[in-house]
Every structure is written in C-alpha cells, then in structure tokens.
Structure 1
Amino acid sequence: MGHASEVSIEKLQREFQPILLDNEQLEKAFKLIRDMLVFTNKRLILVNKQGLTGSKTDYQSIPYASIKMFSKESAGIMDMDAELKIWLTGESTPTIKQDFRKGDNINEAYKVLSKYVLK
C-alpha cells in the first residue's frame, strides 16, 4: 500500500463531517498515496479510494473494541521505515499492516491506538 505520512486534521474536517457522530472528533490521519488511516475518538476509519480517478470511496469503520492487539516494528535507530500492525478480534494474523517512513511519526498512531484500545 505504500508509506504513510501524516495529514492535517483541519484539512479533513469537511470530508468527514457527514459520517462523524455528534460527539466524535478526528484525532490523527495518515495518507497512503490515495488511501488513508483516520483515527477518531470512537473508531479507526480506513479510507480506500477506488478506480483510476479515485471518484469512488470506501469508508470502513473499525470500532476500537474490535482491535485485540497492535504493534509497531522497526529495525532500530538507523531504520528508515517502521510498520504498524493491527489484529482484529477473531483473526490470528494482522488484518491491517501499514508502513511509515522515517520522520512520519508512527509513535503518534501508536499512542492513539493505545489511548482508545487500552481503556
């Protein structure tokens, strides 16, 4: 899927407002070429732009309660990349795997997951 880079929440407010609950707020978002990982205070939203023009968009909601485990992996200080893995309830292998480039703070995604999954 490519490498994730952080996206400004302010730029996404208009696009996501129609699908957010009244008390739901965007926390962090990471863009992957055309697709996105969007963290709210209620769920993780996977955004999949489909087709050549990206005119069709699939929004997949994953409640934090459905996440049973997550990890971040890197080779250490000299590693240029890191990987975020997320396991959903009932799955023995990670359902979501996403690469982050050095400098794109995977720790921010990890903190949001920790904040809501580890309540």
Structure 2
Amino acid sequence: MVTVPPTILQPFLDAADAAASSRPEVDGDIARELMAEAAAMLHNSLALDHLDEHDHALAVALLAADLTAPDPTEAVRARATTIAEDAALHDPEGVHGAYLVVMQVFGL
C-alpha cells in the first residue's frame, strides 16, 4: 500500500468534504474515497516532484479544487491553459507541465 503524503492527501480530502457540503448530490464518503485514490495516483505519477514547496502546495490545492468541480475535465483543462500565466507561481511552466502530465494520468 502506498502512503500518500499529507501535503497531497489532506487538500484532496478537504476538497471532497467541501464538495459534499456544498452540493447535495455529492456523497461525502464516496467523494473522499475517490479523492484519496486521485491523491495516490497523483503521488505515484511523480508529476509534481520537480516543483518547489510553494508551487507544489499551490498546484495540489488547485488540482483538488479542479477535480471536485462539477465538470472536473473542463476545470483541469481550463486551468492548464491559464496556469502558465499565474504570477503567484515560482515556476509557472513547470506547473503547466505538471498539469499536462496529470491530464494524461487521469485520462482527462
């Protein structure tokens, strides 16, 4: 069994909880299970390993929000097209590349 670091797992579980509390059609337990699996896939993909701590945390938070959007595919794809312009990132091109990898890993 792979242990997902809390820096990835917790934001994903928090996003699942937020989605379940704000959208009645979302089952909280299933959302947490799916997001835990997504966190494991993200961790195993090594897509974020090249990012510094700041960009890693921001990318995880953005991915967690995008993956719990009503249309996760559209949310991730939309973010991928604009993330390289985000002035808050230290390595916007690196985060953009990570998003492209995540799209492949998750089949988006």
TM > 0.5 fold call:
no
* More helix as a share of residues: 2
* More strand as a share of residues: 1
Give TM-score, length-normalised by structure 1.
0.35
Give TM-score, length-normalised by structure 2.
0.37
Highest CA radius of gyration, 1 or 2? 1
